[in-house]
Amino acid sequence: MNDPAESRKAANRLLSVGKLVCGADVDPLLEQVADGGQLNAHQRDCVHCRAAIGEFTALWDPVREVAAAPVLAPAELTATVIRRIRRLVHDVGYTLQITDGGAIRIAARIVAALARDSARLVPGVRVAFGRSNLSTLGAFAGDGPLGQRPGGASVGVLGRTAVVDLAVAVNYGMPVHDVARDIQRQVVAALHHGLGLQNVTVNVTVDDVLDDAAE
Amino acid sequence: MSEVDDAYLVRRAQAGYPDAYEFLVQRHSGMAYRVALRLVGNHHDAQDIAQEALVAAWESLAGFNADSSFSTWLYRIVTRRALNKVTRSRSARCLDLLDDVPSPGGGAAARVERDLMVDAVTNALAALPFSQRVVLVLHHFEGLSYAEVASVTRSTVPAVRSHLFRARRTLARTLEEWR
């Protein structure tokens, strides 16, 4: 039993035999070892079962060790997937600001992300997700080249105007309406200061209340 | 965000909030890669499978009706894509399951011993028929219950038990050849 190689050979012989001297089936013992099961009353008193379990334990230990070893995903995997998904999302509108130095365009996704991150800072907000809702402002898009996007829909050129939808979950016990108003104020301020947007509509949907016991 | 469960994130993603899905990607990409690696045995294919599975899950998310958990659903997509890859290439024997993991201390002899052990297990795993490999990886490596494995493989608990029974025997016999 002390020699791993001998243990494996013994284990294999056991599998061929099928039954131990005490009458116990061998395969359930291998299953028990592989699943980390405890000894039952018979096994605690049976030298044959305990010997077989010892053999199988030596055999299965390498499997257990490989299974427990961490497997690190490539660092770029998550970023690559997210990049591909963002390309699949057709919401590719832009804000447009004309300055003395030229045009500044900010992707709608950035507007949504900043709004989301601002909302998450409001006390009582557990989670928040943002989506730009530029399609509701299609009338602003016009016919210029910036108003075109793949798929034929025309949204995107919105000057300094943005509409953002936020879905939020708030902590249980918080005054939902007050939290929602705080979100609107904070997001409007963040988009104004952060992106220079002056006409911002923030639609807040509080769609879940989460118990904070998990925290 | 760690306290928000997958079901909530799925609902938000289905409602058109792609950043909710990004959290799911961050949470599950490691699992997708790990399972793919253990099923196909090489990093390059595993990365491809994980990436394609996570994008495919996004594309199919509207049709995901939450009759199973998101992770079970993703396990299913990953294993199906791994099967396709193995069936096409018949090259699931590249032996680098753990080669990115730093070896533990203990000197050269211990490292050699460990490498031999890893090779032995990896070879034994790769030699299993795919149906046995899947249940073994999901149950013994990923820690899924028989019922969860049955759900992933769209099978039954008795069938999972049967595949596991054979997989363990085959693995045990193969490991005997080690050293």
Q: Which residue has the higher pLDDT, A119 or B123?
A: A119
Q: Tell me the whole-structure pTM to 2 decimals.
A: 0.75
Owning domain of residue B127:
101-179
Q: How confident is the model at residue B106 (pLDDT cuts 50, 70, 90)?
A: low
Q: Do A131 and B18 touch (CB under 8 A)?
A: yes
Q: How far apart are CA B59 and CA A12, in angstroms?
A: 47
Q: How confident is the model at residue A10 (pLDDT cuts 50, 70, 90)?
A: low
Q: Are residues B89 and B109 in the same domain?
A: no
Out of B61, B94, B127, a domain closes at: B94
Helix axes A4-17, A47-68, angle to 10 degrees: 120
Q: How confident is the model at residue B109 (pLDDT cuts 50, 70, 90)?
A: confident
Interface test with B, best of A66, A132, A164 (most B CBs within 10 A): A66
- Match 């490498």 to its residue by tokens: B115
CATH number of the domain that residue B73 is part of: 1.10.1740.10
What tokens does B163 get?
């595949």
Chain B's closest residue to A210, CA to CA, is B4
Q: How confident is the model at residue B100 (pLDDT cuts 50, 70, 90)?
A: very low
Residue B27 at interface with chain A, using a CB cutoff of 8 Å: no
Q: Percentage of chain A surpassing pLDDT 70?
A: 77
Tell me which H or E stretch contains A177: helix A176-195
Q: Are residues B25 and B77 in the same domain?
A: yes
Out of B42, B73, B94, a domain closes at: B94
Q: A146 to each of A108, A111, A164, A201, how far by Cα in Å?
A: 13, 17, 20, 22
List the domains of chain A with CATH numbers. 4-68 (no CATH), 88-214 (3.30.70.1350)
Q: How confident is the model at residue A137 (pLDDT cuts 50, 70, 90)?
A: very low
Q: Are residues B84 and B6 in the same domain?
A: yes
Q: How far apart are CA A107 and CA A84, in angstroms?
A: 16
CB A171, CB A126: distance < 8 Å: yes
CA angle at residue A169 from B3 to A111, to 5 degrees?
105
Least confident of A17-26, A79-88, B90-99, B170-179: B90-99
List the single residue in B101, B117, B176 with the smallest CB-CB distance to A12.
Answer: B176
Q: Do A169 and B59 touch (CB under 8 A)?
A: no
Is the pLDDT at A149 greater than 60? The verdict is no
Q: Are residues B19 and B39 in the same domain?
A: yes
Q: Are residues B85 and B107 in the same domain?
A: no
From chain A, pick out residues whose CB is under 8 angstroms from the CB of B29: 73, 77-78, 81
Mean pLDDT over B110-133 rounds to: 84
B residues 115-134 lying closer than 8 A (beta carbon) to A = 117-118, 120-122
Query: What are the residues whose beta carbons fall under 8 Å from the beta carbon of B35, sequence distance 6 or more?
Result: B75, B78, B79, B82, B137, B138, B141, B142
Number of domains in chain B: 2
| pLDDT value for A156 | 36
List the single residue in B55, B97, B120 with the smallest CB-CB distance to A84.
Answer: B55
| pLDDT value for B76 | 95
A residues 171-200 lying closer than 8 A (beta carbon) to B = none
From chain B, pick out residues whose CB is under 8 angstroms from the CB of A8: 175-176, 178
What is the 8-class DSSP label of residue A39? P
Q: Are residues B159 and B135 in the same domain?
A: yes
Mean pLDDT over B148-156 rounds to: 93
Q: How confident is the model at residue A148 (pLDDT cuts 50, 70, 90)?
A: very low
Q: How far apart are CA A25 and CA A206, in angstroms?
A: 58
Helix (H, G, I), strand (E, B) or coil at A123: coil
From chain B, pick out residues whose CB is under 8 angstroms from the CB of A214: 3
Q: Percentage of chain B surpassing pLDDT 70?
A: 87
Q: Are residues B48 and B72 in the same domain?
A: yes
Is the pLDDT at B92 greater than 50? The verdict is no
Q: Are residues B113 and B72 in the same domain?
A: no
Mean pLDDT over A133-154 rounds to: 36
Q: Are residues B36 and B118 in the same domain?
A: no
Residue A139 at interface with chain B, using a CB cutoff of 8 Å: no
Q: How far apart are CA A54 and CA A51, in angstroms?
A: 5
Mean pLDDT over A59-82 rounds to: 91
Q: How confident is the model at residue A155 (pLDDT cuts 50, 70, 90)?
A: very low
Q: Are residues B44 and B126 in the same domain?
A: no
Q: A88 to each of A78, A84, A152, A153, A209, how far by Cα in Å?
A: 15, 6, 15, 15, 31
Query: What are the residues whose beta carbons fall under 8 Å from the beta carbon of A40, sequence distance 6 or more?
Result: none
Q: Which residue has the higher pLDDT, B97 or A69?
A: A69
Q: Are residues B85 and B115 in the same domain?
A: no
Q: Are residues B70 and B119 in the same domain?
A: no
Out of B94, B115, B140, a domain closes at: B94
What tokens does A71 get?
């497997």
Q: Do A71 and B37 touch (CB under 8 A)?
A: yes
| pLDDT value for A132 | 67
CB A44, CB A18: distance < 8 Å: no
Residue A136 at interface with chain B, using a CB cutoff of 8 Å: no
| pLDDT value for B97 | 45
CB A19, CB A26: distance < 8 Å: yes
Is the pLDDT at A126 greater than 60? The verdict is yes
Q: Do A85 and B51 touch (CB under 8 A)?
A: no
Q: Do B120 and A62 touch (CB under 8 A)?
A: yes
Q: Do A208 and B118 touch (CB under 8 A)?
A: no
HEC sequence for chain B: CCCCCHHHHHHHHHCCCHHHHHHHHHHHHHHHHHHHHHHHCCHHHHHHHHHHHHHHHHHCHHHCCCCCCHHHHHHHHHHHHHHHHHHHHCCCCCCCCCCCCCCCCCHHHHHHHHHHHHHHHHHHHHHCCHHHHHHHHHHHHCCCCHHHHHHHCCCCHHHHHHHHHHHHHHHHHHHCCCC
CATH number of the domain that residue B173 is part of: 1.10.10.10
**So what's the ipTM on this one?**
0.82
CA-wise closest residue to A128 among B7, B9, B69, B70: B9
Interface test with B, best of A65, A129, A215 (most B CBs within 10 A): A129
Mean pLDDT over A73-91 rounds to: 85
Q: Do A81 and B55 touch (CB under 8 A)?
A: yes
Is the pLDDT at B41 greater than 50? The verdict is yes
Q: What are the backbone angles phi and psi of residue B104, rounded to the nearest 5°?
A: -70, 170
Q: Do B55 and A30 touch (CB under 8 A)?
A: no
